[in-house]
A and B are shown apart, each in its own frame.
Chain A
Amino acid sequence: SQTFGGEAKITPNAESESEVDPWSLLQLVDGADRSGLFPPLFKVLSDRRGESPKLQPDSRALYYMKKLYKAYATKEGVPKSSKSHLHNTVRLFTPSTQNKQASGDQVTGLLPSDALQFNLDRVAAVEHLLKSVLLYTFNTSIPPPSALTCLCILAIHESRSSPAPLSCTLKNHKWMEIDVTSLLQPLVDSSERSIHTTVNFTCWLAQPPHPSGPEGPLHMSRLVPPSLILYLNDTSAQAYHRWYSLHYQRGPAQGPDLDRRGTETPRLSRHPR
């Protein structure tokens, strides 16, 4: 504790030592916040010690990402070695605003078109977009017919390209994906961080309606507003570069070698002496 005269009196206090916040160990002595020195993980962690995130995520979105995590990593959190994907970052955004522009048409299954806004501020400049999908989930206890075919017209207000018809892929009886990579790529690359989209659906059955489902046209208006998923490649040194580890033996936590010309060359596996 600091006495009035200013000389510090150290009063070792058991509980205060046990309560030492691990992050105070990381703070630099002069207290200057040079969190830029810390790898992004520590920057994120040290900025948010113990506080809960301001907004809680949608439960369906969290359920989807937990399934993705189980597919990509072991229980201990070690990424499974897979050549199927090269992205080392996946971000899921739920729409920050949504308003219906028109009521849906039950006859042809034309869905109400939704104006959705996504805020992509969390996408870092070092994260390059590899793929992007709009993920719809069916908010119904009656699973939709498996042979559902949909066509959707997607318009992104910030995009110069005209609305494009996109095919929808029914992932299983719960999810439907629309690949929007071609529309989103130029926007994310140009650091556009607020995206406004409108989506028009037309769905038809390739088979008779679900036996226990409601007769007549497909009741699609119970689609939950979509999430936007970005599959990114984080190019920072702290991120795990799967393709790099597959091809080169990385030395112990060192960067690539410099050859005589001073240009960076990836470290090839060292031959035993």
Chain B
Amino acid sequence: GQEVLSSESKKPLLPTSFNLSEYFRQFFFPPGECELHDFRLSFRQLKWDNWIVAPHRYNPRFCKGDCPRAVRHRYGSPVHTMVQNIIYEKLDSSVPRPSCVPGKYSPLSVLTIEPDGSIAYKEYEDMIATKCTCR
């Protein structure tokens, strides 16, 4: 079989345009799975720009997508999440599947003009989602 092997070895194993990391990505991060999405808004859209002076742009972000069956460590999910999934699949489908929700947040600084004309700088906790989890 040496001549077969030698002739085979001349053919490229993979198409030149093949992207290995992209290939593995589809296994590690299948499309439509639970992940963080941007939503940039300006306070002008909410008609609050006459008293929220800063920031001009605010991206609270949000979590969207399906929770995989075996969430394991990637989403920081407790074991309860897998138990809930098993209940949904094996015992009672009226029990909802685990949901894709924010798991960590970062604060936001806001500069506002108060009704009495004074000016306030405030830092609010949990205003920007920074990580998703399945719960």
Contact = CB atoms under 8 A, between A and B. Distances in A.
A100 B102 CA distance: 56
Given A78-B106, A119-B116, A240 B47 contact: no
A80 to B, nearest CB: 9
A271 to B, nearest CB: 13
A66 B53 contact: yes
B95 interface: no
A78 B117 contact: no
B109 A53 contact: no
Contact of B115 (A22, A41, A50, A53): A53
B47 A49 contact: yes
B39 interface: no
A246 interface: no
Given A252-B103, A252-B133, A61 B119 contact: yes
A49 B106 CA distance: 25
Nearest to A91: B120
Residues of B in contact with A, size category:
35 or more
A42 B46 CA distance: 13
B123 A69 contact: no
A51 B50 CA distance: 8
A56 interface: yes
A41 B110 CA distance: 10
A34 B74 CA distance: 39
Contact of B109 (A39, A56, A77): A77
Interface string B38-56: 0000000011101101111
A242 interface: yes
Interface string A230-266: 0000100111111001000000110000000000000
Contact of B118 (A72, A88, A93): A93
Given A41-B110, A234-B122, A253-B105, A75 B55 contact: yes
B114 A241 contact: no
B33 interface: no
Nearest to A54: B115
A253 B126 CA distance: 7
A65 B108 contact: no
Given A69-B109, A75-B55, A76-B59, A57 B118 contact: yes
Binding site secondary structure of chain B = strand
Interface residues of A, number: 48
B83 interface: no
A45 interface: yes
B113 A122 contact: no
A139 interface: no
B118 A91 contact: yes
B86 interface: no
Contacts of B28: none
A243 B80 CA distance: 32
Given A50-B48, A77-B58, A238 B124 contact: yes
B31 interface: no
Contacts of A269: none
B125 A240 contact: yes
A76 B121 contact: no
A252 B123 contact: no
A88 B126 contact: no
Question: Which 7 interchain pairs have the tightest Cβ spacing?
Answer: A55-B117, A77-B55, A240-B107, A73-B109, A240-B123, A90-B121, A52-B50
7 contacts: A50-B48, A57-B113, A65-B53, A73-B123, A77-B57, A237-B125, A240-B123
